[in-house]
Amino acid sequence: MAQKKTLSNWLTNRYLLIIRNEENFAEKKTIRFNYARVILILFAGFLIALSFSIYLVTFTLEEWLDPRFAQMQTNRQLLELTMKIDSMEQDIMLKDQYFNNLQRILSGDVDAIGLIEEQSDSRMGSSEIFVEDLIQPIDSQLRAEFENTGEEIFTYQASGFDEIRDLYLFTPIEGGIITDDFNPKEDHFGVDIVAKENEPVKSISEGMVIFSSWTMDSGYVIGIQHKGNLISVYKHNSELLKNVGNFVSGGEVIAIIGNTGELTSGPHLHVELWHNGNAVNPMEYIAF
């Protein structure tokens, strides 16, 4: 009696495929297989082809096959542009507010210094705003004020500024010797101090750096706005250690003494004090 065939037997039965030469019937190749193995290989090939097709449709051919692709790309670009515009509007608003506060400081409103410091702290984690870009017009104005060697913009007033006398002013350089006094009649609106090489230059009081750059006449110059509408200027430095917009404390190192600029005859520091647009004698308020 013949054995009854089942699906399991049909799948597991082994077969032999022999490839022979047609002329001499020489055996060339022998392949052993069963239907289970054939089905498994075909299924694996189908999965590979299906995965490859899905990848092409999803990523490579999306632009061709998906009619929504162009609209999606446009929406994505519109969203990015909208975010950039919102960020630019925020930056412009902060710049305007910062610039207005700086103008208040230059006009004598000391309380604006605290506002600028709070604004600087509040935007440290968001978009970065360079203070040099915010107050470049102020830099140009100060350059014209401090470096003008023709007709002077400011006028000299002798002494009696009680606002300055109420401030404690540090010595800008230690162990220095004054070699040239304050003499506005000869356009010398400060004092010259000779000191050792690489001696640190210190801020006379707390304030904000409003000028820090190179000039042809005075070399490396740094200017600081203090309370009481007082501005101190330090010229002929070899190196500047603070940038525009930095807040400094009284006695903090801001530069290194040097011999830069055309209007210098040797290593020294030239210090000027300006109050309400008027040059004042630093020797009357600072103990050198």
What SS3 class is residue 111?
coil
Per-residue pLDDT at 155 exceeds 90: no
Task: Please tell me whether residues 155 and 261 are part of one structural domain.
Answer: yes
- Which one-letter DSSP state was computed for residue 268? B
Q: Note down the domain range covering 53.
A: 7-62
Q: Which of 64-68, 143-147, 283-287 has the highest mean pLDDT?
A: 283-287
According to DSSP, the β-strands at 278-280 and 155-156 are parallel
* Residues 125 and 153 occupy one common structural domain: no
CATH, residue 155? 2.70.70.10
Q: What was the pLDDT predicted at 128?
A: 42
Do 23 and 149 lie in one domain? The reply is: no
Do 277 and 147 fall within a single domain? yes
Task: Look at residues 274, 226, 230, 278 and name the one whose alpha carbon lies nearest to residue 252.
Answer: 226
Residue 161 and residue 275 in contact, taking contact as beta carbons nearer than 8 Å = yes
Asked if residues 192 and 172 have their Cβ atoms less than 8 Å apart, the reply is: no
Residues 121, 207: one domain? no
pLDDT tens for residues 110-150? Answer: 555 555 555 555 544 444 444 444 444 444 555 555 555 43
What value does the mean pLDDT of the chain take? Answer: 77
The pLDDT of residue 246: 92
Mean pLDDT of 182-210: 91
On whether both 114 and 206 belong to a single domain, the answer is no
Of 27-36, 134-143, 265-274, minimum mean pLDDT range:
134-143
Confidence of residue 92 (pLDDT cuts 50, 70, 90): confident
159 and 120, same domain (yes or no): no
Q: What amino acid occupies position 66?
A: D
Question: Whole-angstrom Cα distance, residue 190 to residue 232?
Answer: 10
State the total domains in the chain.
Answer: 3
